[in-house]
Structures are given as C-alpha cells and as structure tokens.
C-alpha cells in the first residue's frame, strides 16, 4: 500500500492507495478516535457494488454504521440533498465526534464532505473515492460543495478530510467513458508539473488503458502526489493552486454551454487543455511540436482534442466571462511553456483567445 501525506499543519492527512484495500478501511478509521456512530454516504450504484464491504469492515472495527443514500447524478449535488443529508444525520443523532464516510465518485465526495463541514459546525469526513477522477483529483485537497442553478460548484467550503482511502480495484467496475474522462486530469498533472510522468503516460498507455494494477497504481499515486504538493503549498487557491485549473477555463465554458449533459467534465477539460496549449503557442510561450504532443496524448486516451463545430468561439468567450475563474473582469489562463511547467496569464486579447478556439488538433 502506498501512503502520501498532504501537509497542512493541523489539517494534515494521509492518502492511502492500494489494490484490494477496501476491506481495510474499518481498521484504519478505528485509529482516529471517532465516536462509534458513522454515517456512510453513497449512491445506489456504488452502494450496491461496495457498500456491504465497507459497512462490514467498519462494523468489524466496532463502529455502528448507518447508510445515507442520495440519488446517482450531478443534478442531485444541490442544497436540497444537503438538507436531506442534514435531516438524516440529525435523526441518527450523530454527534460532533462522529464521522462521515463518503463512498463514491466526485459527486458523492463533494456533497458528503460539504455536509460534514457544516453539520454541527463540522464533523470528520473520510473520502473513499471510486472513480478515477475522484481518486486523482476531487477526493484530495478539501474543495467541497454543491451546485446552484446559477452556477456549478458555486457554494462550498474548503474542508480537508481526515483520510483518503483509495482502492484502485474499484475502477474495474467503472464505465470506460468515465475512466477516460479521469485520464484527462491525469494527463493534466503531467503537463503542469512532471514531464517524466507525461512520458510515462505515453510509454505505458496500453497497460494503463487495460487497468494493469502496477501501472494504474503508479498513475493514481503520482497524480495524488502532485495534487498533494500543490495543495500543501496553497490550500485556498490564492496562488499556485490555480495551476490545477489547466484546461478548465475553456473546459467549464464548454460544459456550461452544453448544459453539463453532452460532455463529461474530463472530456471538456481535455478539449480545454488542447485549446490552452494552442493559446500558449499563439502567445509565444510554446512551440508547435509541444502543442502537438499535448494533443497526441489526449487523442491516445480517446479524448476529444477540440470543441465541437456548433460551439462558436464567441459563445465560449462569453461563457468564460461569467465563470468564477475570471478575476476582476480579466480572464485568467493556465498556459504551458513546456511539458511539466505552466504559467498563469491574465489579460490576453479576445482576438487571440478566439484564434486558439479555432484549433482542430
Ligand atoms: P460521479 O461521481 O458522477 O461518478 C460517475 C458515475 O460513476 C456515477 O454514475 C457513479 O455512480 C458511478 N460510479 C462511481 N464509482 C463507480 C465504480 N467504482 N464502479 C461503477 N460505477 C461507479 O462523477 P466523477 O467524475 O467521479 O465526479 C464528478 C464531480 O466531481 C463533479 O461534481 C465535479 O464538480 C466534482 N469535482 C470536484 C473536485 C474537487 O476538487 N472537489 C475536482 C474535480 C471534480
Ligand atoms: N480540482 C482543482 C482543485 O482542487 O483545486
């Protein structure tokens, strides 16, 4: 089992990663001094697959476990379901020393840990992520929250989990499209921080694609290490953490215009990363060959490299203006200057951005 520390003074915690470790969660949670009652928050899909094992493990460690099930889907990551969770926790009489275990993908993790952050002004939460995206991104770093009809992820808290428990074996039941979407965030880590890792993704593509345990473990571990490093440097995104948004400014706009239903988050980020690489080239930061390297990697993992024809560049620019990543009216982009290194750039002209959106890969 691999172990990575997220260094945040009194809010520090460990991420544990392994294959077949799901049944060990109870023993690990037992060492934290939580009161006996734990709420296991999940959705019907994931609970049917892994709920019994997680409950058995926690019960064997002496916990009383009550499941709180929310429906499966991004549309349920909202206040109404936070309110539902609050009601269930109150009925269960969870106290300030109880803990929540979030079992599922990013939707469950975001809403469950948001609920933990506000229930009785904050109780402990444990992330047990089961999608590739949640294992390499959303379960680490403490961003929790829900959507509002006026904007995605607009309501939330920074609230670090007590631990993150990642069993990569859970990825065997994950839909292929969801797996690929998670790979977009993995590729992102290579581009922003680690050229060697980027190369690894190229040379081990076959093994990663077929979920070979050794390579998959390396992919999840290296991604978590990079995210842990960045978050340790800048927990609340006042500086360097913004590099994790590479591909997201354009990606979010694509998701928003298409109503969050046509593309998975990772697919939109994949397109966003290619357009941002092209924007870097147009800004004189990146050579053409490296733009192609980014785009080839995205293609290799069967992800889209450019926004669809029906989304005109002006529509994307307009949507980006209302995104929260626009700081004081100026759009902010994370642009690579080589593989493994990015800069945060403000004040680019609409004309340049428009040209980058014409990129076809
Ligand atoms: P998701 O949680 O909707 O999961 C995708 C689908 O896979 C769901 O139907 C789920 O039930 C199913 N599933 C989960 N694990 C499975 C498994 N092991 N086997 C079979 N099916 C499984 O989607 P996601 O991509 O994990 O997360 C997306 C969410 O994460 C979004 O709401 C996004 O805003 C959020 N997010 C948060 C952060 C953060 O830092 N907090 C970062 C990135 C994304
Ligand atoms: N997913 C971006 C972040 O956690 O900051």
Catalytic site residue 5? no
Q: What is the pLDDT of residue 171?
A: 97
Q: Any residues with CB less than 8 A from the CB of 56 and at least 6 apart, and which?
A: 23, 26
> Between 320 and 215, whose confidence is greater?
215
Q: Is the pLDDT of residue 331 over 90?
A: no
- 209, two tokens: 């694609």
Looking at the CA of 153, name the nearest ligand: 1
143 is an active site residue: yes
pLDDT per residue as tens digits for the range 13-31: 999 999 999 999 999 999 9
Q: What SS3 string covers 90-155?
A: HHCCCCCCCEEEEEECHHHHHHHHHHHHHHHHCCEEEEEECCHHHHHHHCCCCEEEEEECCEEEEE
Whole-number pLDDT of residue 323: 66
Give the residue, by CA position, lying nearest to ligand 1 atom 35. Answer: 106
Mean predicted confidence (pLDDT) in 335-360: 95
pLDDT, mean of residues 66-76? 96
Atom of ligand 2 nearest to the CA of 237: 5
β-sheet bridge partners, residue 2: 17
Q: Per the structure block, which two tokens stand in for 228?
A: 């842990």
Among protein residues, the one with the nearest Cα to ligand 2's atom 2 is 244
User: Residue 205 catalytic?
Assistant: no
Mean pLDDT, all residues of the chain: 95
For 278-324, what is each residue's pLDDT tens digit?
999 999 999 999 999 999 999 999 999 999 999 999 999 999 987 65
Q: What are the beta bridge partners of residue 157?
A: 144
Q: pTM for the complete prediction?
A: 0.97
Residue 287 has which token pair? 């050579």
Residues contacting ligand 1 via CB (< 6 Å):
43, 45-46, 49, 72, 74, 77, 104-108, 110, 130-131, 133-134, 137-138, 141, 143, 153, 170, 173-174, 178, 265
In the set 188, 218, 227, 332, the catalytic residue is: 227
* Four-residue CA torsion sign, 139, 145, 147, 150: negative
Nearest to 196 by CA among 217, 177, 222: 222
What pLDDT score does 327 carry? Answer: 56
Burial of 236 (0-12, 13-18, 19+ CB in 10 A): exposed
Specify the pLDDT at position 336: 98
Index of the ligand 2 atom closest to the CA of residue 241? 5
Atom of ligand 2 nearest to the CA of 244: 2
Pocket of ligand 2 (CB under 6 A): 137, 141, 143, 237, 241, 244
Please tell me the predicted confidence (pLDDT) of residue 308: 93
- What is the pLDDT at residue 281? 98
Among residues 53, 56, 237, 338, the one annotated as catalytic is: 237
pLDDT of residue 152: 86
Assign 4 to helix, strand or coil. strand
What is the pLDDT, as a whole number, of residue 159?
98
Nearest ligand to the C-alpha atom of residue 108: 1
Ligand 2 centre to CA of 138 (Å) is: 7
Interval 113-126: pLDDT, tens:
999 999 999 999 99
Name the residue at shortest CA distance from atom 3 of ligand 2: 244
Mean local confidence (pLDDT), 175-183: 97
Query: What is the pLDDT confidence band of residue 130, given thresholds at 50, 70 and 90?
Result: very high
Q: What pLDDT is recorded for position 260?
A: 87
* DSSP single-letter state for residue 40: E
- Per-residue model confidence (pLDDT) at position 328: 62
Compute the distance from residue 133 Cα to the ligand 1 centre, in Å. 6
């Amino acid at each position: 089992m691999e172990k990575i520390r997220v260094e945040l003074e009194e809010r520090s915690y460990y991420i544990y990663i392994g294959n077949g470790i799901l049944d060990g969660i109870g023993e690990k949670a037992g060492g934290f001094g939580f009161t006996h009652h734990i709420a296991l928050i999940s959705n019907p899909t994931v609970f049917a697959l892994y709920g019994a094992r997680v409950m058995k493990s926690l019960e064997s460690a002496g916990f009383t476990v009550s499941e709180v099930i929310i429906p499966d889907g991004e549309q349920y990551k909202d206040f109404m379901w936070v309110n539902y969770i609050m009601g269930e926790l109150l009925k269960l009489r969870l106290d300030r020393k109880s803990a929540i275990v979030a079992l599922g993908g990013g939707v469950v993790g975001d809403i469950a840990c948001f609920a933990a952050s506000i229930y009785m002004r904050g109780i402990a939460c444990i992330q047990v992520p089961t999608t590739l995206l949640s294992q390499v991104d959303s379960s680490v770093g403490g961003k929790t929250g829900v959507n509002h009809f006026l904007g995605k992820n607009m309501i939330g808290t920074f609230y670090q989990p007590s631990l993150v428990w990642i069993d990569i074996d859970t990825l065997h039941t994950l839909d292929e499209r969801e797996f690929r979407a998670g790979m977009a965030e993995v590729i992102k880590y290579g581009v922003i921080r680690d050229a060697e890792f980027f190369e690894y993704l190229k040379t081990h593509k076959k093994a990663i694609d077929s979920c070979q345990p050794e390579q998959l473990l390396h992919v999840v571990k290296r991604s978590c290490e990079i995210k842990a490093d960045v978050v340790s440097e800048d927990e609340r995104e006042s500086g360097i953490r913004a590099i994790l948004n590479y591909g997201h400014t354009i990606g979010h706009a694509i998701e928003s215009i298409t109503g969050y239903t046509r593309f998975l988050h990772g697919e939109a980020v994949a397109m966003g990363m290619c357009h941002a690489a092209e924007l870097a080239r147009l800004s004189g930061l990146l050579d053409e060959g490296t733009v192609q390297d980014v785009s080839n990697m995205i293609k290799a993992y069967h992800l889209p490299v450019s926004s669809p024809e029906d989304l005109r560049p002006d529509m994307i620019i307009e949507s980006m203006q209302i995104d929260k990543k626009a700081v004081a009216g100026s759009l902010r982009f994370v642009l690579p200057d080589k593989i493994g290194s990015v800069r945060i750039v403000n004040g680019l002209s609409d004309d340049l951005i428009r040209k980058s959106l014409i990129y076809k890969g």
